[in-house]
Amino acid sequence: MTARKILFLVLDGISDRPCPELAGKTPLQAAKKPNLDAFAREGICGIMDTIAPGIRPGSDTAHLALLGYDPHTYYTGRGPLECEGVGIAMEPGMIGFRCNYATCAKDGQVTDRRAGRIFDTAALSAAIQEGVDLKKFGVEFTFRSGAGHRAALALKGKGLGHCISSNDPKKEGVPPLTIQAVKRTKQDKKTATVCNEFVRQATAILAGHPLNKERERRGLSPANMVLMRGAGEMGHFEPFSTRYGISGSVISAASLIAGIGAAVGLKRVHVDGITGSQDSNLAGKIAAAQDELRSQDFVLVNIKGADESGHDGLAGQKTAFIEKIDAAIAPLRTLQDIIIVICADHSTPCSVKDHSADPVPVVIRGDGVRTDEIVRFDEVSCAEGGLNRIPGSSLLLIALDLINRSRKYGA
Ligand code: ZN
Ligand code: ZN
């Protein structure tokens, strides 16, 4: 029998290096994880360079590579993908930014880059959308709230560039920066001028907004400033369904990953209680994936929490979260007819507190897969597996071949 569908379970940043706190084991080696190990036993294992050996991936470039979209071609910055993540339909050539609401004191210094972790900013964003006018530059814009203090801005117009700096000083107690053209081309200079004007008008609107007046009365930090960064130009993404001839969905709390899914035309699935953190509703995500597989050919699920532990350098917490993931994925063990791929998007070693280029473990399980001798899902065991060492760009192609949907090369 040949499987008909594909599930990608991407365990964000789960891969690691030996940790002194774990007696030299990685969190994956230290965790009790009977389900992940069962997939390793029943499938074929290997290690994977998501982009290429020695390249330290971001989550965004890694996920583009896993979906078969070469980040060197498709990635110009995080902004346009964040825009897609908050529901802005980006067209090729539009310039996108990720934004933050922040607090500025009367003397002009940034006192809180997250505006007291404000979470309901829809009214503020609506006021900016309504009130800011960039017509004199021939530019249209869309500004939308994201989760928490976050937002995204998209610019549409002729002669815009994306090589511009940010106004985010990246620290508190200093004024916001003036946005500048990095390459000093005509396009970049125009965009920098447009952005500075956007910030100026938005600041005026936010200063008088009743929601901010109310926050000040209650002793909360007003969201009176927009910081913007991550400028990028939206590229031409060939739709996933055209490229591979299959339908697909994405399930992710992280707007960046959901935005990548939206950019390539995957259906975004909302699940209650998913947070992108340790307290996420993992059972809900796994149930949603099973639901989606009834109607879609491909489902990508991203589970984020382990990456957070890696960035915080907490090996014990990462190990405990791996055990939580393991319990949550038990229902996938009985899935029939599906090629299940489990991997990380990159390593986030607790000793580095950031992503590293170390290859990640990967397992593929399902009908027709040639199994190997590996019985544990971890960085060291999988390195001995039958898949050997593969590039991330091959992963979907291998899975497509297993469901008999790859195109023949040659006669
Ligand atoms: Zn990641
Ligand atoms: Zn990360």
Domain assignments of the chain as residue spans, ordered by start: 5-76+237-402, 91-233
Candidates 290, 388, 344; CA nearest to 63 is: 344
Cα(408) to ligand 1 centroid in Å equals 32
241, burial (CB in 10 Å: exposed 0-12, middle 13-18, buried 19+): middle
Ligand nearest to the CA of 311: 2
Distance 305 CA to ligand 1 centre (A): 10
Q: Quick one: pLDDT band at residue 278, thresholds 50, 70, 90?
A: confident
For 105-239, list the strands marked E by DSSP.
110-112, 139-145, 150-157, 225-233
- C-alpha 10 – ligand 1 centre gap (Å): 9
The predicted model gives 188-209 an average pLDDT of 97
**Number of neighbouring beta carbons within 10 Å of residue 70:** 12
- Per-residue pLDDT of 118-155, as tens digits, reads 988 999 999 999 999 999 999 999 999 998 899 999 99
Residues in the chain: 411
Give the mean pLDDT of 96-112.
95
Distance 63 CA to ligand 2 centre (A): 12
Percent of the chain with pLDDT over 90: 94
In this structure, of 118-122, 300-304, 323-327, the range with the lowest mean pLDDT score is 118-122
- Residue 157 is predicted with a pLDDT of 97
pLDDT at residue 277 in the model: 84
pLDDT of residue 275: 83
- For the segment 258-270, what is each residue's pLDDT rounded down to a tens digit? 999 999 999 999 9
CA 279–ligand 1 middle distance (angstroms): 17
Taking the CA of 360 as reference, the closest ligand is 1
For residue 340, the CA-to-ligand 2 centroid distance in Å is 23
Q: pLDDT-based confidence at 276, cuts 50/70/90?
A: confident
Res. 86: pLDDT tops 90: yes
Q: 299: Cβ–Cβ under 8 A, 6 or more apart, which residues?
A: 5, 6, 7, 8, 248, 249, 250, 251, 289, 292, 293
Task: Look at residue 227 in the predicted model and tell me its pLDDT.
Answer: 97
Q: Residue 87 — pLDDT band, cuts 50, 70, 90?
A: very high
Q: Is the pLDDT of residue 226 over 90?
A: yes
**CATH number 2.60.40.10 given to 5-76+237-402:** no
Given a cut of 90, is residue 373 above it in pLDDT? Answer: yes
**What does the pLDDT read at residue 346?**
98
Instruction: Please list, in sequence order, all residues whose beta carbon lies within 8 angstroms of the beta carbon of residue 294, skipping any fewer than 6 positions away.
Output: none
In the chain, the amino acid numbered 60 is D
**What pLDDT does 113 receive?**
94
Q: What is the Cβ-side half-sphere exposure of residue 356, based on CA atoms within 13 angstroms?
A: 16
Please report which ligand is nearest the Cα atom of 10: 1
Q: Which two tokens stand for residue 231?
A: 């400028």
Cα 126 to Cα 117, 119, 121, 206: the distances in Å are: 19, 15, 9, 11
For residue 274, what pLDDT band results from cuts at 50, 70 and 90?
A: confident
| CA distances (Å), origin 300, targets 39, 249, 313, 392, 408 | 17, 6, 27, 14, 25
- Ligand 2 centre to CA of 76 (Å) is 19
* 267-268 and 248-251 beta bridge pairing: parallel
- Considering only CA atoms, give the Rg of the chain: 22
Backbone angles phi, psi at 302, to 5 degrees: -110, 130
Residues 6+ apart with CB under 8 A from 165: 177, 179, 180, 181, 182, 192
The residues near 158 (Cβ < 8 Å, ≥ 6 apart) are 138
Q: Please, which pLDDT band fits residue 402 given cuts at 50, 70 and 90?
A: very high
The alpha carbon of 62 and the centre of ligand 1 are apart by a number of angstroms equal to: 7
Query: Separation of 17 CA from ligand 2 center, angstroms?
Result: 15
Kindly state the average pLDDT of the residues 377-402.
Answer: 98
Distance of CA 43 from the midpoint of ligand 2 (Å): 27
**Average pLDDT of the chain to the nearest whole number:** 96
Report which of 4, 67, 25, 37 is spatially closest to residue 326, judged by C-alpha positions: 37
Residue 403 has pLDDT above 90, yes or no: yes
**Residue 355 structure tokens:** 């992503």
Q: Provide the pLDDT for residue 204.
A: 97
Instruction: Name the residue type at position 233.
Output: E
Ligand nearest to the CA of 13: 1
CA of 345 to the centre of ligand 1 (A): 5
Give, as one character, the DSSP assignment of residue 113: T
How far does residue 13's CA lie from ligand 1's centre (Å)?
A: 5
* Residue 291 dihedral angles phi and psi, to the nearest 5°: -60, -50
pLDDT tens column, 25-77: 999 999 999 999 999 999 999 999 999 999 999 999 999 999 999 999 999 88
> In 3-58, where do the E strands start and end?
5-11, 44-49
Alpha helices (runs of H) in 164-314, residue ranges in sequence order = 186-207, 210-217, 240-244, 255-263, 282-295, 305-312
